[in-house]
Amino acid sequence: MEEDCGDIRHCFNCGTCVAGCPASEADNPLLIRRLVRMVLLGLEDKLLDDGTPWMCVTCTACEEMCPMGVKPFEVGLAIRRWQSRKDETYIPPALVEIFETGHTQPVEKAKELRRSVGLEEVPPTIVRNQDLLKKFREMLKETTIVKNNDYMFKE
């Protein structure tokens, strides 16, 4: 994997990344040092079936704490990307939401709620400008993930 994750060969499995990780407390825990080991050992089949990278809370404490300059947080994201490339069922549906509306939440449907707190019904984001949203989609259509999975991204 050509990704900027620090040099993962420097990892000696000390477990600092796990010690501060909220998702390491789950019953089926995210153990980032274990994932690093799987990458180093080339255990591709096992790694492809492992859903734990998707439990990261994205707090990045592991990256701050790693004594070896590895970026465990970036390792987790890189594994997610690799999984998404290998198996499109990993691709988060939120990508399609962003492609369609520019957002992960129904910003354009909150009119009444927004009016009730004295705000403009539609916020000044991309939802207010359909021409711009079209250009945004055109940009995304040029990216690898959308090109390779174009059946998901329909207008």
Partner 1 sequence: MPKYGLFLGCNMPAIRPDVERAMRLALPAVGAEVVDLEGCTCCPAFGTFPSADENASLAVSAWNLSVAEGKGLDAVVQCGSCYSSLRLARAKLLHDGEKRKIVNELLKGAGKKYEGTSTVRHVIDVLYNDIGPDKIREAIKKPLNGIHAVIQYPCHTRYPSEVLGFDNPGRPRMLQALVEALGAKVDSYSRELQCCGGAGGFARVAYQDAVKFAKKKFDAIKRETQADLIVVNCITCLMHTEKVQKDLSKGGEEFSIPVFDYAQILALCLGFDPKEVASISVIPKDKVIEKILGTA
Whole-number Cα distances in Å, 83 to 101, 109, 154: 25, 33, 22
Least distance (Å) between residue 118 CB and partner 1: 5
CA distance 75 to 150: 27
- Which among 30, 39, 35, 49 is positioned nearest to 1, based on CA atoms? 39
117 makes contact with partner 1 (CB under 8 A): yes
Question: 43-52: b or e for each residue (b if 16 or more CB lie within 10 Å)?
Answer: eeeebeebeb
34 makes contact with partner 1 (CB under 8 A): no
Extract the tokens encoding 127. Answer: 């939802």
15 makes contact with partner 1 (CB under 8 A): no
The structure tokens 């079209």 sit at 134
Least distance (Å) between residue 45 CB and partner 1: 20
CA dihedral over 50, 75, 15, 29, signed as positive or negative: negative
CB nearer partner 1, residue 34 or residue 81: 81
**Which of 10, 12, 60, 69 contacts partner 1 by CB under 8 A?**
60
**Which of 49, 89, 144, 151 contacts partner 1 by CB under 8 A?**
144
**Which of 10, 19, 57, 69 contacts partner 1 by CB under 8 A?**
57
Residue numbers at the binding site for partner 1 (CB under 8 A)? 3-4, 22-23, 25-28, 30, 51, 54-61, 63-64, 73, 77, 80-81, 84, 91-92, 94-95, 98, 102-107, 109-110, 113-114, 116-119, 123-126, 128-129, 132, 135-136, 138-140, 142-146
